[in-house]
Structure 1
Amino acid sequence: MRITDWLANPFKLHALGILGMNERNSRYIAQYNDRHLYPLVDDKLKTKKLMLDAEIKVPGLIATIMHQSQVQQLLKHLPLNRGFAIKPAKGSGGKGILVIINQHDGLYVKTNQKLLNLEQLQHHCSNILAGLYSLGGNPDVAIIEELIEFDPMFDGFSHEGVPDIRVIIFRGYPVMAMMRLSTKDSDGKANLHQGAVGVGLDIRTGNALHAVQFGQPIVEHPDTHRALSELSVPNWKELLILASRCYDETQLGYLGTDIVLDKNLGALVLELNARPGLSIQVANGCGLKPRLKQIERIQHKRNALHRVEYAQKHFASKPDFDEVAEVIENS
């Protein structure tokens, strides 16, 4: 299956149940996401407090930088001799996230081994406060978080950056999932538009279904050459329950949950999104609409466990790596 073939064919899009942006905005986001709830997920500090109050694990908060006067005193807010991440509280799409993995002789080591000095970190924080990375360009707050140590079972599946798992939750039900793997092209970021790899995940098992980069099917990571068909997320049902619980806490009916697996702390909610993108359909090689419509027909309420069990029963998929490999080999 060539992704570009069905993206260019409206009849194929309809047959696959592909959800477009206009329909996503008008039918699902506008109808199921009350606007007054958006600040709960648009502001990472509010999200962190909400998750902690619900006893849902998130990356540890080291400090917040709210004023330019604090930027000048940044050094006293930074941890010594270990990594950390600096993020805009109201950023989106991974913009403005600076990950430091180590420190050496007063310099700070990025994931690509580039060295930064304190003045460069201060400049980055100043840009965050000025709203360079925030939604609408509004003044923002810089968050300094504990560094995530991704589980070694994912070695070879990602280049430099930490792989994360995006789960689309609709009315509390997990309807589609993918893992985003960073590459050299994406500069170590898990952003599909910048060249990260998207791997569709079977809702029933957490096993890899299908993988794409730049909209085209692939069977191995472009930098490490590890076979993507080997990817499988452990403790998958528990992870889906965690993602499903985010609906109960936010009451957002159409929600993207981003989760990372820390080798020491387990599953952590990285952030939530009230307007999750649609590229997850490309990574899965199928559309969201049939699953969303099925959930809309459900009348009675279920708890997170029962919602996950329903999704695992009804939304299981079959991997197609062998088919894709044959197409690539013969093309």
Structure 2
Amino acid sequence: MFFTTPSKLRAAGVVGINARNAAYVIPQNKRSLYPLVDDKSKTKVIAVEAGLAVPELYGIIEQHSQIRRLRKTLGDRTSFVVKPAQGSQGNGIMVIEDRVEGGWRKVGGSSISDSDFNFYLSNIISGMYSLAGRPDKALIEYRVEFDPVFDQITYKGVPDIRVVVYRGIPVMAMLRLPTRASDGKANLHKAGIGAGVDMATGITLGGVQNDMPVDVHPDTGSSIQGLQIPGWDTILDISTRSADAAGLGYMGVDIVLDKNLGPLILELNARPGLAIQIANSEGLRHRLDKVDAVAGTMESVEERLDFVRRTFGVLPTAE
């Protein structure tokens, strides 16, 4: 069911931005912890300290003078990702797949000259893509090679899985898929696809693009429904442990599946967007209420994940 009227929204338990902030974000997330997730370099540190896998960091460019030493930072690597440490919604991210004469080739086939690339790095440092326009730093990291299970339902870029975790318990998830319209990015606000995911099994449900329901990928024609996401139990485990490590009571965890390295944490978010509800055709509130009813009664990750499987599965299960 997709929501069309205020009464249907309320009945479906849809959470709006004001309610999200007032009832969940502010009470559950200490302001002092925000820098741990707003700065991706700090997120990497807490993830690694918790024994969680992240894309390898090749280097950090914090000062304009460091740009001319980029080659030394990269060594012989010609494929990598550059992202602003404090960026959001995928803004400022550039994926490089190879070195070409006088510049670099980006994923998708277009090229950028050395001078333009250096200018782009300078813009990151100056805060063009950062939250509130503050001075930032550019992270140079491993370029994820996505699991081939997604070959038929993605375009150019890397799909990722967003999991919303509340009070240490995963409550809802979606698979985000790049499209031609999104320029190969998995962000929904850039015309990527969000496919709901059954929390018990990791099987994809229907999806949404530009707030409209979709059942097939517009660029490949393949169904986005019924796909079993590999390693779903591991993804739930990582999401739970990430929330524990960050200390936030309401957060989003973004995970990618690398074909060689398995699940990797891309980033954590203290204010995850609400489109995940549309992707799942279900509001968050009822699930959050169920967590409130049991919060504090389950200490171990295993207990919490057993609760998730018993409580938030939506697909029929074999007897």
Query: What is the TM-score with the length of structure 2 in the denominator?
Result: 0.96
- Opposite residue 236 of structure 1, the aligned amino acid is W
2:238 aligns with one of 234, 238, 242: 242
Alignment-derived partner of residue 306 in structure 1: 303
Correspondence 1:316 to 2:313? yes
Alignment-derived partner of residue 23 in structure 1: 19
Secondary structure in 2 matching 1:228? coil
Which aligned segments of 4 or more residues in structure 1 are displaced greater than 4 angstroms?
A: none
Give the C-alpha shift of residue 74 in structure 1: 2.2
Secondary structure in 2 matching 1:240? helix
**Are the counterparts in 1 of residues 86 and 130 from structure 2 also a CA contact under 8 Å?**
yes
**Are the counterparts in 2 of residues 134 and 140 from structure 1 also a CA contact under 8 Å?**
yes
2:70 aligns with one of 69, 74, 82: 74
Correspondence 1:216 to 2:225? no
> Alpha-carbon deviations, 1:265-287, whole Å to 9, x = none?
10000000000000000000000
1:109 aligns with one of 105, 110, 115: 105
1:196 aligns with one of 192, 199, 204: 192
**Are the counterparts in 1 of residues 205 and 226 from structure 2 also a CA contact under 8 Å?**
no
Give the C-alpha shift of residue 79 in structure 1: 4.3
Correspondence 1:56 to 2:52? yes
Give the C-alpha shift of residue 171 in structure 1: 0.7
Map of 1:151-230 to 2, 5 A cutoff? 151-230=147-226
Give the C-alpha shift of residue 302 in structure 1: 2.1
**Are the counterparts in 2 of residues 199 and 208 from structure 1 also a CA contact under 8 Å?**
yes
> Alpha-carbon deviations, 1:84-115, whole Å to 9, x = none?
00010011111110101222334311111001
- In 2, the alpha carbon distance for the partners of 1:173 and 1:145 equals 29
Equivalent residues, number: 315
Correspondence 1:260 to 2:256? yes
**Are the counterparts in 1 of residues 157 and 178 from structure 2 also a CA contact under 8 Å?**
yes
- Opposite residue 31 of structure 2, the aligned amino acid is R
1:281 aligns with one of 257, 277, 280: 277
Give the C-alpha shift of residue 206 in structure 1: 0.5
- Opposite residue 193 of structure 2, the aligned amino acid is V
Secondary structure in 1 matching 2:279? helix
Give the C-alpha shift of residue 81 in structure 1: 5.0
- Opposite residue 306 of structure 1, the aligned amino acid is E
- In 2, the alpha carbon distance for the partners of 1:107 and 1:12 equals 53
Alignment-derived partner of residue 97 in structure 1: 93
Percent identity between matched residues is: 46
Query: What is the TM-score with the length of structure 1 in the denominator?
Result: 0.93
**Are the counterparts in 2 of residues 209 and 317 from structure 1 also a CA contact under 8 Å?**
no
**Are the counterparts in 2 of residues 108 and 117 from structure 1 also a CA contact under 8 Å?**
yes
Alignment-derived partner of residue 143 in structure 1: 139
Change (3 A) 1:70 1:143: same
The 10-residue stretch of structure 1 (106-115 or 52-61) with the greater mean CA deviation from structure 2: 106-115
Alignment-derived partner of residue 322 in structure 1: none
RMSD: 1.2
> Alpha-carbon deviations, 1:128-184, whole Å to 9, x = none?
000000001000011000110111111021101100000000011010000000001
- In 1, the alpha carbon distance for the partners of 2:160 and 2:96 equals 18
Alignment-derived partner of residue 30 in structure 2: 34
Alignment-derived partner of residue 286 in structure 2: 290
Secondary structure in 1 matching 2:58? strand
- In 1, the alpha carbon distance for the partners of 2:244 and 2:172 equals 18
- Opposite residue 299 of structure 2, the aligned amino acid is R
- In 2, the alpha carbon distance for the partners of 1:303 and 1:47 equals 23
Correspondence 1:85 to 2:97? no
**Are the counterparts in 2 of residues 75 and 118 from structure 1 also a CA contact under 8 Å?**
no
Give the C-alpha shift of residue 233 in structure 1: 0.5
**Are the counterparts in 2 of residues 167 and 177 from structure 1 also a CA contact under 8 Å?**
yes
Secondary structure in 2 matching 1:296? helix
Give the C-alpha shift of residue 305 in structure 1: 1.8
- Any gaps of 5 or more consecutive residues in structure 1? 320-331
